[in-house]
C-alpha cells in the first residue's frame, strides 16, 4: 500500500469512529442517559443529534490528520467541520457509517485539487490614462477596471455590471447600492487552495508579485514608495487621514492627511514586466520545484512586501531579515547562520574584496539588531537602520533575479556562494 492510500485509509478509519459516536433521538432522553447537559446539538430532518465529548475528541483527531495530509493551503478547520456535520446528517437519515465515512474522506481530500480565481480591489497600483493594458506576473494579473469583465469569467455573469461614469462607480451586482470593486484597477489571481483559504493565499501571491514587479523595472514614476516609505496594503483601503491630536503644555498639533504611495503602470513599466527573463522568473517562482532557488526567492519576495508595509522599524527589520535568510541561509545545519548570510550577501553585491569586508560587517551589525528584537523584544531601531537592511535586501534580490537561473537547487546556489566567498568566481 502506497503512502497516499495509507493516509486515505487512516482518515476513513477515523471517520467511521467519528460517525459511530452519534446519538440520535429526543434531547431530554439522551441528556438523562448521558447525565451531561453541555453536549453540543446538531439539528437534522430526522431529529436532534447529540455530539458527545468523545465525538469532539475524534473530530479534532480527524482535523489534525487531514490537515497534515492537505497542508496549509488546502486545510481549513471550518471546511472539515462542515463536511463532518453534513456526514452526520446523512447517517441520521439512514446512510451506512462505512459509505458515509468514505464519502466524507473524499470530500475532505478533494479540497487539495481545487482551483479558484480571486478578483479583488487594488490599492497599491494604478494605470496611467495613456496605458490601460493588463499586466501579468505568473498567476497574478493586474487589470484596469474596464478590462475585468472581458478578461475574467465575471463577464459571463449577467448580474454583474460595470459603471464607470459615476465617480462612485465600479463593478456592481445587480440591485446592490455599492460596488464590490470600486478601485480603478483590480487583481485577478489564480489560487490553488480550499475556498475558505483563498483570500489569504491570494493576498500572499499578490505580495510576492508586487516585490517581483518592483525589482524588475527601473521605470517607476509617480508617487512610488521609495526606500523606507510605507507601502499600502494591496487589497485593503489605507486611511490617509490622521484623525488625532497630540499636545503638551506648550503646543498642540492635529493630524493631517497624506496621499498613499502607489506603483504607476505605464508602457515602459509594462515592457519591463513582459521581458522574457522576468516572465521566466515568474513561472519558476509561482510553480517552484521543491528545494529550488525559486522556492526560496518566492518566500523572500513576500516577506519583503510585508516589510515595506510595516509602520514599526522593528517589524521592518524582522521582515527584511527574514527575506535575507530565506535566500541566503544554508541547508548545512553546522554552518554559522549570520556569518554565512553576511558572506554570501557580500559575494552577490561585489567582486571587490575590500568592499566585501565592509558589506559583511555592515550586515552583521544589522543582524545584531534582528537578534535583539527576536531574543529580547527590543524595539530600538533607527530609521536609517531599517532603510539600510531594506536596501541590502532589495539589491541582493535584484541581482539574483537578473543573473541567476532560478530553477537551480538551493544547495547548488549556496555551494557556489560558499566557494566564491573563499576566492573562486561566483557561478550563477
Residue range 343-369, pLDDT digits in tens = 999 999 998 888 999 999 999 999 999
Query: Is the predicted pLDDT of residue 413 greater than 60, yes or no?
Result: yes
Judged by average pLDDT, the poorest of 53-62, 227-236, 258-267, 402-411 is: 53-62
State the pTM of this model: 0.90
Residue that wins the pLDDT comparison between 112 and 402: 402
Are 57 and 131 part of one and the same domain?
A: no
Does some domain include residue 281? no
At residue 337 the predicted structure's pLDDT band, cuts being 50, 70 and 90, is confident
Range of the domain at 374: 288-421
At residue 19 the predicted structure's pLDDT band, cuts being 50, 70 and 90, is confident
Judged by average pLDDT, the poorest of 31-35, 58-62, 302-306, 349-353 is: 31-35
Are 128 and 268 part of one and the same domain?
A: yes
As for how many domains the chain has, the answer is 3
Query: Is the predicted pLDDT of residue 334 greater than 90, yes or no?
Result: no
Query: Is the predicted pLDDT of residue 148 greater than 80, yes or no?
Result: yes
3-state secondary structure the chain: CCHHHHHHHHHHHHHHHHHCCCEEECHHHHHHHHCCCCCEEEEECCEEEEECHHHHHHHHHHHHHHHHHHHHHHCCHHHHHHHHHHHHHHHHCCCCHHHHHHHHHHHHHHHHHCEEEEEEECCCEEECCCCCCCEEECCEEEEEHHHHHHHCHHHHCCCEEEECCCCCCEEEECCCCCCCECCCEEEEEEEECCHHHHHHHHHHHHHHHHHHHHHHCCCCCCCCCCCCCCCCCCCCCCCCECCCEEECCCCEEECCECCCCCEEECHHHHHHHCCHHHHHHHHHHHCCCCCEHHHHHHHHHHHHHHHHHCCCHHHHHHHHHHHHHHHHCCCCCCCCHHHHHHHHHHHHHCCCHHHHHHHHHHHHHHHHHHHHHHHHCCCCCCHHHHHHHHHHHHHHHHHHHHHCCCCCEHHHHHHHHHHHHCCCCCCC
Q: What is the mean pLDDT of residues 179-206?
A: 94
Model pLDDT, residue 46: 61
Are 265 and 135 part of one and the same domain?
A: yes
Query: Is the predicted pLDDT of residue 209 greater than 80, yes or no?
Result: yes
Does some domain include residue 24? yes
Residue that wins the pLDDT comparison between 162 and 48: 162
Are 168 and 253 part of one and the same domain?
A: yes
Residue that wins the pLDDT comparison between 92 and 115: 115
Query: Is the predicted pLDDT of residue 380 greater than 50, yes or no?
Result: yes
Q: What is the mean pLDDT of residues 151-172?
A: 87
Does some domain include residue 282? no
Are 103 and 30 part of one and the same domain?
A: yes
Model pLDDT, residue 421: 86
Q: What is the mean pLDDT of residues 238-242?
A: 78
Q: Which of 275, 302, 334 is the last residue of a domain?
A: 275
Are 224 and 150 part of one and the same domain?
A: yes
Model pLDDT, residue 33: 47
Does some domain include residue 426? no
Does some domain include residue 428? no
Query: Is the predicted pLDDT of residue 416 greater than 60, yes or no?
Result: yes
Q: Which of 218, 249, 275 is the last residue of a domain?
A: 275
Query: Is the predicted pLDDT of residue 24 greater than 60, yes or no?
Result: no
Q: What is the mean pLDDT of residues 118-127?
A: 96
Model pLDDT, residue 51: 75
At residue 39 the predicted structure's pLDDT band, cuts being 50, 70 and 90, is low
- Measure the CA–CA gap between 375 and 214, rounded to whole angstroms: 32
Residue that wins the pLDDT comparison between 95 and 412: 412
Q: What is the mean pLDDT of residues 321-339?
A: 86
Query: Is the predicted pLDDT of residue 41 greater than 70, yes or no?
Result: no
Q: Which of 275, 298, 321 is the last residue of a domain?
A: 275
Query: Is the predicted pLDDT of residue 1 greater than 80, yes or no?
Result: no
pLDDT digits (tens, 9 = 90+) for 256-308: 788 899 999 999 999 999 999 999 999 999 999 999 999 999 999 999 999 99
Model pLDDT, residue 361: 94
Model pLDDT, residue 266: 97
Are 196 and 266 part of one and the same domain?
A: yes
Are 82 and 165 part of one and the same domain?
A: no
Are 27 and 174 part of one and the same domain?
A: no
Does some domain include residue 28? yes
Are 127 and 106 part of one and the same domain?
A: no
Does some domain include residue 427? no
Does some domain include residue 298? yes
Q: What is the mean pLDDT of residues 223-250?
A: 90
Q: What is the mean pLDDT of residues 143-147?
A: 95
Are 39 and 144 part of one and the same domain?
A: no
Are 61 and 131 part of one and the same domain?
A: no
Query: Is the predicted pLDDT of residue 243 greater than 50, yes or no?
Result: yes
Model pLDDT, residue 111: 82
Amino acid at each position: 500500500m502506497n503512502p497516499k492510500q495509507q493516509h486515505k485509509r487512516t482518515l476513513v478509519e477515523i471517520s467511521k469512529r467519528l460517525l459511530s459516536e452519534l446519538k440520535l433521538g429526543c434531547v431530554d432522553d439522551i441528556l438523562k442517559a448521558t447525565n451531561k447537559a453541555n453536549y453540543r446539538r446538531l439539528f437534522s430532518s430526522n431529529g436532534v443529534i447529540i455530539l458527545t465529548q468523545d465525538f469532539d475528541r475524534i473530530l479534532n483527531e480527524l482535523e489534525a490528520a487531514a490537515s497534515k495530509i492537505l497542508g496549509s493551503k488546502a486545510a481549513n478547520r471550518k471546511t472539515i467541520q462542515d463536511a463532518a456535520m453534513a456526514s452526520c446528517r446523512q447517517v441520521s437519515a439512514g446512510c451506512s457509517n462505512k459509505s458515509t465515512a468514505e464519502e466524507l474522506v473524499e470530500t475532505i481530500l478533494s479540497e487539495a485539487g481545487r482551483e479558484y480565481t480571486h478578483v479583488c480591489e487594488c490599492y497599491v497600483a494604478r494605470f496611467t490614462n495613456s496605458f490601460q493594458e493588463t499586466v501579468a506576473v505568473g498567476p497574478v494579473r493586474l487589470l484596469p477596471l474596464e478590462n475585468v469583465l472581458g478578461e475574467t469569467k465575471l463577464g459571463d455573469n449577467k448580474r454583474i455590471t460595470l459603471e464607470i461614469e459615476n465617480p462612485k462607480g465600479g463593478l456592481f451586482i445587480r440591485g446592490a447600492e455599492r460596488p464590490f470593486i470600486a478601485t480603478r484597477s483590480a487583481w485577478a489571481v489564480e489560487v490553488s487552495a480550499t475556498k475558505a483559504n483563498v483570500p489569504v493565499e491570494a493576498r500572499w501571491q499578490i505580495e510576492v508579485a508586487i516585490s517581483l514587479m518592483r525589482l524588475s523595472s527601473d521605470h517607476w514614476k509617480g508617487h512610488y514608495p521609495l526606500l523606507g516609505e510605507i507601502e499600502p496594503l494591496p487589497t485593503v483601503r489605507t486611511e490617509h487621514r490622521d484623525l488625532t491630536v497630540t499636545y503638551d503644555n506648550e503646543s498642540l498639533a492635529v493630524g493631517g492627511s497624506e496621499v498613499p504611495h502607489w506603483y504607476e503602470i505605464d508602457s515602459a513599466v509594462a515592457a519591463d514586466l513582459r521581458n522574457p527573463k522576468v516572465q521566466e522568473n515568474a513561472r519558476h517562482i509561482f510553480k517552484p520545484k521543491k528545494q529550488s532557488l525559486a522556492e526560496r526567492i518566492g518566500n523572500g519576495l513576500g516577506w519583503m512586501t510585508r516589510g515595506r508595509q510595516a509602520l514599526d522599524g522593528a517589524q521592518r527589520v524582522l521582515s527584511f531579515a527574514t527575506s535575507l535568510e530565506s535566500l541566503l541561509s544554508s541547508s548545512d545545519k553546522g554552518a554559522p547562520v549570520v556569518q554565512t548570510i553576511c558572506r554570501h550577501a557580500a559575494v552577490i553585491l561585489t567582486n571587490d574584496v575590500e568592499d566585501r569586508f565592509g558589506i559583511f560587517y555592515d550586515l552583521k551589525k544589522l543582524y545584531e539588531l534582528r537578534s535583539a528584537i527576536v531574543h529580547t523584544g527590543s524595539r530600538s531601531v533607527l530609521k536609517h537602520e531599517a532603510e539600510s537592511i531594506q536596501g541590502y535586501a532589495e539589491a541582493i534580490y535584484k541581482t539574483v533575479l537578473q543573473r541567476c537561473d532560478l530553477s537551480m537547487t538551493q544547495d547548488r546556489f549556496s555551494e557556489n556562494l560558499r566557494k566564491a566567498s573563499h576566492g573562486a568566481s561566483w557561478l550563477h
